[in-house]
Amino acid sequence: MNAELHSFQEAIGYNFREPELLLRALTHRSHFHEHNAASDVPGGHNERLEFLGDAVLGLIASEYLLECFPAESEGFLSKRKAYLVSAAHLSEAARGLGLGEHLRLSKGEEMSGGRGKRALLANTLEALIAAIHQDGGMEAARRFVVDRILKPLNSEQAEEPPTAHNFKGALQELAQSLKLPAPKYVLVGEQGPEHSKHFVVEARINPELAARAEGPSKKSAGQNAAQSLLQRLSQNRPQVRM
């Protein structure tokens, strides 16, 4: 296994006894088929691992939420679990681990921005969870999921029901596909009394591509600003300066 994958194992906090499982988890089916099931793709691609990883993640997330919120209702827990296992959250966690840098993709998938695609990152993270489970058992998988996917959830996300749509993630993907800078979010104002504040956030790609919006929290204001800029960018896509 090369030095990059050794450093990746340090980043995820788990060293594989069977490195082939890690390679399989990182192998997209496009890479597997492009190489015609060649010897450099041991064990095939990662879709079967995704299937297992989804189930393992769901169980661990459910147990984690029951421990963190012992007095909350099933509806409360269900909403937070839906967020924790969503492509939006998993892709953000994958980016934090640098997972995209280690994906094994076909040339075509690479050229189309596959390393930054939300669904692809989320699916690969699920495959990685399954690979750890198969290599080290349930406790190893639980440590990885809790430490690298669930615990990084910030206090605002824990207290406030997650938004149904991750407009920030969608805006980032569209900007990347258009070869534009990554969006930045700036708090530009606060309004109202202390017990009922409204925040104003600006989503900005460049001086010509920016939008402001408000919300009852910084997170919701950022999502609203991202939604506004996403709509503008999508409508004017052919005129965007590259």
pLDDT of residue 115: 82
Domain end, chosen from 157, 178, 195, is at 157
In angstroms, the Cα distances linking 102 to 27, 116, 179, 186, 199 are 9, 12, 21, 31, 38
Split at pLDDT 50, 70, 90, the class of 139 is very high
In the prediction, which pLDDT does 130 show?
97
Least confident of 40-44, 46-50, 103-107, 115-119: 40-44
Final residue of a structural domain among 157, 181, 208: 157
Give me the percent of the chain exceeding a pLDDT of 70: 83
> What is the pLDDT at residue 34?
64
Residue 162 inside a domain? The answer is no
Instruction: For residue 134, count other CB atoms closer than 10 A to its CB.
Output: 19
Higher pLDDT residue, 41 or 146? 146
| Residue the block writes with tokens 């407009």 | 167
Burial of 47: CB neighbours in 10 Å, binned 0-12, 13-18, 19+: middle
Mean pLDDT of 220-226: 88
Mark which of 157, 176, 193 sits at the end of a domain. 157
Q: What is the mean pLDDT of residues 187-197?
A: 79
Which pLDDT belongs to residue 237?
53
Indicate whether 118 and 200 sit together in one domain.
no
Is residue 233 situated within a structural domain? yes
Q: Hey, CA dihedral for 203, 102, 24, 18, is it positive or negative? A: negative
Residues 150 and 173 in one domain: no
Q: Which of 1-10, 131-140, 187-196: highest mean pLDDT?
A: 131-140
Catalytically active residues are: 54, 126
pLDDT value at position 241?
Answer: 41
What pLDDT does residue 152 have? 67
Number of domains in the chain: 2
Per the CB < 8 A criterion, the answer to whether 144 and 159 are in contact is no
- Which residues span the domain enclosing 78? 3-157
- Torsions phi, psi of 152, nearest 5? -65, -10
Least confident of 60-64, 107-111, 201-205: 107-111
Question: What is the average pLDDT score of the chain?
Answer: 82
